[in-house]
């Protein structure tokens, strides 16, 4: 059967329309829920299975996840967010500037210290601004330093799996953005990967390690490393940035248990 990412997206939308139509009959909820059982493509799992028959069986669902093997969201992920969760994920075609007055960040952050006006980013104000992640992830809003709104990302470690959180930018970042800035805190030590993805699919990453107390994180965009498997021109172009991802790979290759909570303020692009 021929299939591709666009057909997968159309299927997710069609299924959503069917479920809503079904529930509109007589005002009854005939469809209480739909279970999308696969979040990430099976590529990595298939390599670890010795039995050939089982590997062949997995090929039926190998690429049916919302997220590909490199943790890049597919078009179907946006469709799921919009049509099932009523979340707006696609960045509108606009060059509107996020004003300084609208930014919800601590008074003593690097942004206000340097008097820089943000030129893109995510303002954490309500639940619609929260990231999304794997089934073990829970996201909530809270209060951080100077009573600022922050996002808490709590997740559990599972051997052989990455923990990840992703969010599309709803406002197009301006081309004069030079750095990504926010405050962060973690109740456990360990590095995190920050990945920025462009509209064309090229990805760039950097490593951070939040402390147990709140502290500033600032990443120079020019210093971010391109993913060699997806490299195109090798240059991160701010106006083309589509999404941001946080990822923790500590349990991918070693046994580690328990939960971790990472908290961040609004991630903002600065000139």
In the prediction, which pLDDT does 104 show? 40
In the prediction, which pLDDT does 6 show? 81
d(CA 193, CA 173): 21
CB 140 within 8 A of CB 210: no
Report helix, strand or coil for 111: helix
Question: CA 139 from chain center: how many Å?
Answer: 12
Q: In this predicted model, what pLDDT tens digit does every residue of 174-207 receive, in sequence order?
A: 999 999 999 999 999 999 999 999 998 999 999 9
In the prediction, which pLDDT does 29 show? 63
Q: In this predicted model, what pLDDT tens digit does every residue of 47-80 receive, in sequence order?
A: 777 777 777 777 776 777 888 776 778 888 888 8
Place of tokens 């992640």: 133
Terminal-to-terminal C-alpha distance of the chain: 48
Please name the helix (run of DSSP H) or strand (run of DSSP E) that holds residue 75, with its range, or none: helix 75-83
User: Full-prediction pTM beyond 0.95?
Assistant: no
Instruction: List CB contacts of 144: < 8 A, sequence separation 6 or more.
Output: 106, 150, 183, 185, 214, 263, 265
Q: Which two tokens stand for residue 30?
A: 């005939």
In the prediction, which pLDDT does 111 show? 40
Question: CA 93 from chain center: how many Å?
Answer: 20
In the prediction, which pLDDT does 22 show? 64
In the prediction, which pLDDT does 172 show? 84
In the prediction, which pLDDT does 110 show? 38
pLDDT along the chain (271 residues), means of 10: 75 78 61 71 72 74 75 79 65 37 40 62 91 90 90 92 91 90 95 94 95 94 92 91 94 85 94 89
Q: Which domains are seen in the chain, by residue range?
A: 5-83 (no CATH), 100-270 (2.60.120.430)
**How many residues are given for the chain?**
271
In the prediction, which pLDDT does 131 show? 96
In the prediction, which pLDDT does 11 show? 82
In the prediction, which pLDDT does 262 show? 97
In the prediction, which pLDDT does 93 show? 37
């Amino acid at each position: 059967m021929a299939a591709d990412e666009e057909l997968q997206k159309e299927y997710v939308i069609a299924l959503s329309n069917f479920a809503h139509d079904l529930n509109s009959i007589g005002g009854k909820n005939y469809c209480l829920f739909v279970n999308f059982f696969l979040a990430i493509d099976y590529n990595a799992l298939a390599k670890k299975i010795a039995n050939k028959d089982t590997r062949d069986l997995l090929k039926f669902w190998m690429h049916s996840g919302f997220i590909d093997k490199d943790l890049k969201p597919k078009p179907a992920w946006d469709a799921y967010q919009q049509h099932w969760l009523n979340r707006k994920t696609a960045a509108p075609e606009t060059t509107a500037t996020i004003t300084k007055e609208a930014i919800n960040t601590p008074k003593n952050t690097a942004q206000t210290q340097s008097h820089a006006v943000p030129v893109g980013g995510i303002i954490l104000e309500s639940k619609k601004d929260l990231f999304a992640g794997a089934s073990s992830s829970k996201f909530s809003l809270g209060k951080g330093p100077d009573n600022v709104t922050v996002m808490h990302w709590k997740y559990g470690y599972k051997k052989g799996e990455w923990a990840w959180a992703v969010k599309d930018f709803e406002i197009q970042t301006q081309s004069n953005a030079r750095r990504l800035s926010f405050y962060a805190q973690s109740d456990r030590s360990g590095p995190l990967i920050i990945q920025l993805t462009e509209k064309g699919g090229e990805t760039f990453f950097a490593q951070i390690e939040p402390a147990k107390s709140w502290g500033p994180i600032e990443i120079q965009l020019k210093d971010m490393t391109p993913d060699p498997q997806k490299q195109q021109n090798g240059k991160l172009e701010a106006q083309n940035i589509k999404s941001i991802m946080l990822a923790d790979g500590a349990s991918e290759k070693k046994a580690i248990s328990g939960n971790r909570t990472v908290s961040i303020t609004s991630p903002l692009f600065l000139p």
